[in-house]
Amino acid sequence: MLFEKNPDNLYPVASLTKLMTALVYFQTQPQFDQVVEIMPDDVKHSSRSHIRPHEEITVRDLLHAALMSSDNVATKALVRSSGIPLDEFVARMNALADSMNLTGTHFVEPTGLDERNVASAQAIAALLRTAASNPIVSSIMQKQTYSFASNRKLHRLVSTNRLLKSKWRITGGKTGFINEAGYCFATMVETPSGTEVTAVLLGAPSNRLRFAEARRLLDWTFRFGLPRAAAAAGTE
């Protein structure tokens, strides 16, 4: 641990929830070419989305929408397509959190729209590292843009992770926001020597500040916090 502030305090984590949703979804051995029809209930109370009822979208494309642009409609459709009842799916999320020793972490639904989805910064760091160990999830989280076509229209996704355009090699990341949670962000950066650094910020007051704070943490880490070998590799 290079720097920490209130690492064990529990906070609403908004769409960082989707990291756990993805892990549980992958346990169902999904078929990535499976086509899912978007239902009106997927769209209802789902916040902003460009996905509309009765579009037909593959599981692969829904995963990109859920993880890159934090789309709640896509997330609901994915969970429904798993064939697992919603209550059981959420129970699996909590069981997996317990098995990972994510103390205090608790979920009541899979999107992050409910402020009762809570975790600590320390738990989110562990959750992101586990999610990024899945090569498909890691690949999606590293994409700046992605386009796909449903049966009705073309969609172009832009990642909500602004650090993908930074000087660092980002190997994973997820944003989240609801009013009760503030602006949340978790990201992983690989140093030139192969060391991986994880940064988590919960409850930032604005979108700009969550990325500014993350940059400050990472700048400090690359200057002062890395092992000497990693730091030397970074100056070659």
Q: Please report, for the domain that includes residue 99, its CATH number.
A: 3.40.710.10
The 10s digit of each residue's pLDDT in 118-170 is: 999 999 999 999 999 999 999 999 999 999 999 999 999 999 999 999 999 99
- Phi/psi for 163 (5° steps) reads -70, -10
Residue tagged active-site, from 70, 82, 150, 159: 70
The 10s digit of each residue's pLDDT in 67-106 is: 999 999 999 999 999 999 999 999 999 999 999 999 999 9
Provide long-range contacts, Cβ within 8 A and 24+ apart, for 97-102: 97/20, 97/123, 97/127, 100/126, 100/127, 100/130, 102/126, 102/127
Is 143 part of any domain? yes
Is 68 part of any domain? yes
Is 1 part of any domain? no
Residue tagged active-site, from 18, 69, 82, 159: 18
Tally the domains of the chain.
1
Which pLDDT score is estimated for 233? Answer: 31
Is 123 part of any domain? yes
Range of the domain at 216: 11-234
Residue 174 near residue 17, CB atoms below 8 Å: no
CB atoms within 10 A of CB 228: 7
Is 186 part of any domain? yes
Burial readout 10-20 (b: 16 or more C-beta within 10 A, e: otherwise): bbbbbbbbbbb
Active-site residue flag, 18 = yes
